[in-house]
Structure 1
Amino acid sequence: QKQFSKFRLGLYTTGGQKPAAFVASHADKLRALKVTQSEVNVIIAVAENEGNLDAINTWDNASLSFGLFQWTAGTGSAKGELPALLARIKDEDRDLFDKYCGQHGLDVAEVTPGLVHGYFSLRGTTIKTPAAKAQLRQAPWAFYFWLAGQDPAVQAMEIKHALGRLDQFYSTKVDNKHRVSDLVTSEYGVGLILDNHVNRPAYVKTCLAKALEETGLRNPGGWGTVEERKLIDAYLKIRVTYGRSPMTDAEKRARVTKKYLTNGIISDRRGSFKRSSSS
C-alpha cells in the first residue's frame, strides 16, 4: 500500500529511494551493467539536484513523470524521455519490463535512435495526443511506476539511462574545433554539465563556447587541471544568466555539486572522468 498526494489533475510522491543509498548498497548491479566508478561518482554528485529513483508526478502538463531525472511521457503530442527509459529496460531485461509494464498492457513505440525519446502504447494503441496521454494520470499508473521504482534492478537501469544522456551531447562540437569531451574531462565538470543538460539542454554548448571565448583558452590538448577549472569557473558564471529562460537555480545547483567535490566524492582533476563503453 502506498499513499500519494493529490494535486491538480493527478498524484505525486517525491519518493524515498535515494540514488546515493542505492549506489552504496547495490554497486554489484551497476558493475553488471558496466557502469564505471567514475560514472557512479558523477551520478551521486548530480542526483541531489534531480529526483529520487521512485519519484512520481501525474499532475503536470507532461501527464506522467518518473524517476531520477523525472523523465516524462512528453508534453502535448511530442515524444517523451520516459518511453526511452522503458525501451532500454525492454532491450536489456525483457522479464523486468514485462513485470512492471507489459503485464499491464503498456509498451513503447517509435523510440528514436540512441534511446532519447519515444511514445507509449497502451494495449496496442500508440499514445500521442494529450487526451490519450491523460490515461496515464489515472491512479494505477502512479502506483505501477512507484512500485517499479522500489526494485533495485529498475533503479540500476535508471542510473545507466541517466548516464546515457551524455551520448546526446558529450562527443558533439562546441565550436568548429572542439568537442565538449575535449574541454570537460573531470568528474566535477561532467557533473555540472550533465545537471545543466537535464535542466536546460540547449544551453550547455553555448555556455561552454562563451566561457572558452571569455577565458581566451586555446588548445585543450595541452590543458591541465588549472586550465579546465578556469573554463568551468567562467562557464558557471555565464550559465546563471544565459538565455531567455536561464537555468533554474543555477548557483544553488552548482553549490550542491561542488559539495561532493569538497567531500572527496568527485574529482576536479583533468582526465578523472572515465566513461563506460556501453552507456
Structure 2
Amino acid sequence: MANIEAIRDLLRTNSISKFLNVNARNQYVLAFRDLLNELGFSPELNSNPNAATDFFGNEVVNAVVSFARRNRLDSTGMAVTPFLGATMVERHDSLTGLKTLEGAIANGQYAQFNLQNPNDRNNITLRSLLDTLGITGTTTQEALRNYAQRRGLSADGYQLTETLAKAVLSDLYLLYGDGLRKVAVTVPDPSNPWANIGNNGGTNNGNTGNTGNTGNTGGTNNPVISTGLQIDDRGGTIVVSDGSRQIQFRKHQPIGVSTPGFNGLVNFVEQNKERLIELDLTYSALQVMEAIAKNEGKMDAINSYDRGILSIGTYQWTLGRDDKAGEMPALLKKFRDQFPESFRRHFTPIGLDVSPDTNTTYGFLTLNGAPVNSIPAKEQFRDPAWGFRFWRALQEPDFQAVQVEHALDRLKNFYWKPSYAVFGNLLNTVITSAYGVALLLDNHVNRPAWIKPCVELAMQQTGLTNPSQFTDQNERDLIKAYLNVRHTYTDGSIAAMSKSLIRAQSIYAEVQAGKLSEARGSFQLSNRAVMAYDTRNSMDKSALPPVFYEPTEFPDMENERE
C-alpha cells in the first residue's frame, strides 16, 4: 500500500522535485514507486528487476514518462514537478471511485447512483470521476449530459446507464498503466449504425450518412476531407467519428453545425502551467487568462452557422466574414510554427495550410495551395467534416497551449501601442494591475475599438490623468469609472458592450478569491521582458513590453458588427 501521505507532505512543503529526481535514493522514492505500481505502471518498474526499491532509476523515469503521456502532460521523467505529483495523487484518489463503477457494472446496479441527490455518496463519486476526465457541470446531471454529448451518446442526465458507465470507465482506464487490473469493457451503442465497425477503410471510406450532401449543414463533396470519417446524420444532430474520437454536433437552420466544446480553459491553465511558462508567460498573465476564461467559450468549441463561416476555440476565432481576412488563420499559423509536427498530422493530409501573407492577427487559409479568400471558397468549411477536423485538432494540448498564448497576444494589439495612448500615456502605464489588465482584455475581445475612448472618458471624469503619480487606490478609482463608462458606451455603429457588468463581476470574483491582484504593477506578460528590462526605479509600475515588440506588426482591431 503506497504511503500517499508521504507524497502529500512533499507537495505541501513544495519539496517534491528535491526528493524525487533521477538517481535520488531516499524513503520518499520507496513511497513513490509504490504509488506508480498502484497506478498500473508495474511493467515499466519491473523492466529492471534488480533495481533498489528506494532508488530513482531509469525504470522510474520510464514509468513517470508513461504516466505523463497517458495524462496529456509533458515530462522527461527526470524529476517530479509539483503539478505532476499532485496529478498522480489525484489519480490514486480516484481508484476507489473506479472500483465503485466497476462494481456497479458487474452487478448491473446503476440505480445506486442517485443523480437527483447531490449529497448521495455515489453521486459525489461519479461527479469526481467526470471531473477527472475534464467534464464539468453545475450538477452531476449536467456533467453527465455534457459527457454523453462529447462521446456522441444519449443521456437525459437523470440516470446512469450501462452504456454511459462503461464509456466513463473505459475513458478513465486510459489514464492508468497497463499493470492496473482492469475489467473488459465494450461500449454498446445500438443507435450507432457503424458501432464496432472500426476505421479499417472497409466502410465506404467512412462516408456513412450524407457527407457532402447533408442539406442544411452545408457540404462540399470533398472526398479528402471526408475520407476516414464516419458521419451519421440523426436529424437534429450529426455524429462524426474518425474511429478513435467522436463528437455530436448540433445542426442549425438553415445551415451549419456547432458544439459548445468540453475542454475548459481554466482547467487547462491550472493543469499545464509548466508548459505555458515554457512559452514565456508569467504567472500573472496566466491568472489574467483564468479570470477572463469564465466569460469565454470552451477551448474546443466549434461554430459553422453564422457570418463568421467557421469559428473555433475559446475566443471563437473566425475564418473571416465574407471575403475578409479572419483571426483564425493567424492562430493556425502560430500552431504550425510552434508545433509543426502536430500541425502536419492534423492538417497537411487534407491539404490545409496558412496563406504566406497572414500576419500576427489576420489572414487567410489555403486549401491545396489555393487561397481561401472568397465567399464560395469559405462556404465549404460549414461542412461537419471540416468541423470535426478542427475539433479533433483542438483536443491537442499543443494547440490548446497556443490558444492561451494567442489570446494573451491580443494585448500586443493595443496595450503597448501608441495609437491607443490616452492623454499621451500608453495604456501599459495607466492600468497595470492584473485585475485591470483582465478587464481591458475582456473589453478588447468584445469591443476592441472602444478601449481608448472608454479609458479616456474615465480619466476625464476622475481627473486622474498623470499615471506616474497613481497609487493603488487611484487605479481602483479609475477602473470603477471605466467600468461605468464601458457599460453604456457606444459610438452609434453597434450596441454597447455585451453583458459588460456581468463580465466585470465574474472577473472581480477572482480578486475576491485572492487569485487576481489589484496592486499596480502586478501584471507582467513575459518573463523574458522582466529579465531584460527590469532595471527600473521602484516607482515605475508600468507593465513591460515583450522583448523585440514592434507595435506596427500588430494592427488595430475593429469592432465586428453583430
What TM-score do the two structures reach when normalised by structure 2? 0.48
Q: Which residue of 1 aligns with 2:306?
A: 60
Q: Relative contact order (C-alpha < 8 Å, sep 6+): which is higher?
A: 1
Matches within 5 A, 1:106-145: 106-113=352-359, 115-145=360-390
Cα distance in 2, alignment partners of residues 112 and 272 from structure 1: 33
Cα 1:110–1:201 change in 2 (3 A) is farther
Q: Judge conservation of contact 1:84–1:111 (CA < 8 Å) in 2.
A: no
Deviation of 1:227 after TM superposition, in Å, equals 0.6
Equivalents in 1 of 2:278, 2:385: separation in Å?
31
Tell me the residue number matched to 2:293.
Answer: 47
Q: How many residues align?
A: 278
Do the aligned residues in 2 keep the contact of 1:174 with 1:206 (CA within 8 Å)? no
Report sequence identity in percent.
Answer: 40
- Could you say which residue in structure 2 is the equivalent of 1:155? 400
- Offset from partner CA, 1:100-146 (integer Å, 9 cap, x none): 22222111115444x10000111111011122101111111111111
Distance 1:168 1:105, change over 3 A: same
Q: Report what 2:280 is aligned to.
A: 34
Once the two structures are superposed, residues 22-53 of structure 1 have per-residue CA deviations (whole angstroms, 9 ceiling, x without a partner) of 11211121022111111100000001111111
Query: Does structure 2 retain, via aligned residues, the 8 Å contact 1:225–1:268?
Result: yes
Please state if 1:95 is matched with 2:349.
no
SS, match of residue 80 in structure 1: coil
Q: Report the counterpart of residue 199 of structure 1 in structure 2.
A: 446
Determine if the alignment matches structure 1 residue 240 to structure 2 residue 490: no
Shift of residue 10 of structure 1? 0.7
Show structure 2 runs of 5+ residues with no match. Answer: 1-245, 527-545, 550-562
**Is structure 2 residue 474 aligned with structure 1 residue 216?**
no
SS at 1:2 equivalent: strand
Partner residue of 2:522 out of 251, 255, 272: 272
For 2:248, what is the secondary structure of its paired residue? coil
What letter is aligned with 2:517?
A: S
Deviations for 1:45-81, whole angstroms, at most 9, x for unmatched residues? 0011111110000111111000011100011111000
Say if 1:38 and 1:104 are closer, same or farther in 2 by CA, change over 3 A.
Answer: same
Larger radius of gyration: 2
Q: CA RMSD in A?
A: 1.3
- Provide the C-alpha distance between the structure 2 equivalents of 1:262 and 1:58, rounded to a whole number of angstroms: 37
Tell me the secondary structure at the aligned position of residue 453 of structure 2: helix
**Alpha-carbon separation, structure 2, partners of 1:66 and 1:111:** 21
Secondary structure of 1:131's match?
A: helix
Which whole-Å CA distance do the structure 1 matches of 2:343 and 2:506 have between them? 33
The runs of at least 4 consecutive aligned structure 1 residues that moved more than 4 Å come to none
Q: Normalized against structure 1, the TM-score is what?
A: 0.96
CA distance in 1, matches of 2:250, 2:334: 29
Q: Letter of the aligned partner of 2:261 in structure 1?
A: G
> Of 398, 412, 422, which aligns to 1:167?
412
Q: Do the aligned partners of 2:260 and 2:298 also contact (CA within 8 Å) in 1?
A: yes
Structure 1 unaligned residues grouped into runs of 5+: none
* Matched letter for residue 234 of structure 1: A
**Do the aligned residues in 1 keep the contact of 2:319 with 2:325 (CA within 8 Å)?**
yes
CA contact (8 A) 2:423 2:456 kept: no
Q: Displacement, 1:2?
A: 1.1
Which one of the candidate residues 500, 521, 525 is aligned to 1:250?
Answer: 500
CA distance in 2 between partners of 1:221 and 1:157 (Å): 34
